[in-house]
Amino acid sequence: MLRVYGHPLASFYWKVLIALYERSVPFDFLMVDGEHSKNAEAIARLAPTGQFPVLVDGDRVVVESAAIIEYLDLNHGTAAPMVPADRNAAIEARQMDGIFDDYVSAPLTRMVLNAIRQPDKRDPHADPEAQALLDKSYSWLDRWMTGRTWAANDTFGIAECAAGPALFYAHWGYPIPEEYAALRAYRARLLARPSIVRAIEEARPWLQYFPLKDRGTPH
Ligand SMILES: N[C@@H](CCC(=O)N[C@@H](CS)C(=O)NCC(=O)O)C(=O)O
């Protein structure tokens, strides 16, 4: 059986979880937290920075959420792949996956990491810089999503695996302005998708620990 290390609150674990659920691939979940020190020790050994998700399939270890999703496409499940086989279509899928990771998840993570520091150790530049980046991303994504249902090739795929958690948390921590109707509608479509509903439900007991929870609302 496939094993996946992660934590139910973690966006990059959700990314893989959504692909697993979309493609009905069975797996064993290994929780990484203070109460499961063996799992934390294992990923410290397996992943370059001890980050999750990590997938273990027999002797094969795959790290990095996007690489794990592509590994699943090739080796597990019979449903349509999250990255299309057509190489030109795959470019758009990977482009949008990278945009949600780097320009939505990354600035949001910067704000989260700043919020969990001791108040006197907070970086005064972190929030304004992260928010300026999110402003640009929201504006560009709203234009990109106008007239589209899904972000790449108009097919649910790896871009949505990234966008689901990225936009769920980003809008909660730094709300998407109302004028960005196309981006807000896209987020609503993502949050109604059964695989993403399931990831959110599994995270529910931990959502109270989201460090930016008082800055907006999750829905
Ligand atoms: N580029 C990595 C990012 C992984 C990542 O940032 N993981 C976070 C959880 S969402 C993590 O492990 N955080 C705990 C830590 O850094 O100790 C990927 O795509 O998998």
Enumerate the H helices of 47-180 as residue ranges: 65-75, 87-100, 106-115, 126-145, 158-173
pLDDT at 219: 82
Q: Encode the chain (219 residues) as per-residue pLDDT tens digits.
A: 999 999 999 999 999 999 999 999 999 999 999 999 999 999 999 999 999 999 999 999 999 999 999 999 999 999 999 999 999 999 999 999 999 999 999 999 999 999 999 999 999 999 999 999 999 999 999 999 999 999 999 999 999 999 999 999 999 999 999 999 999 999 999 999 999 999 999 999 999 999 999 999 998
Give the atom of ligand 1 at the shortest distance from the alpha carbon of 50.
17
* Closest residue by CA, ligand 1 atom 16: 51
User: The domain at 87-196 falls in which architecture?
Assistant: Up-down Bundle (1.20)
pLDDT at 90: 98
d(CA 176, CA 81): 30
Show the ligand 1 pocket: residues with CB < 6 angstroms: 10-13, 50-53, 64-66
Give the number of residues written for the chain: 219
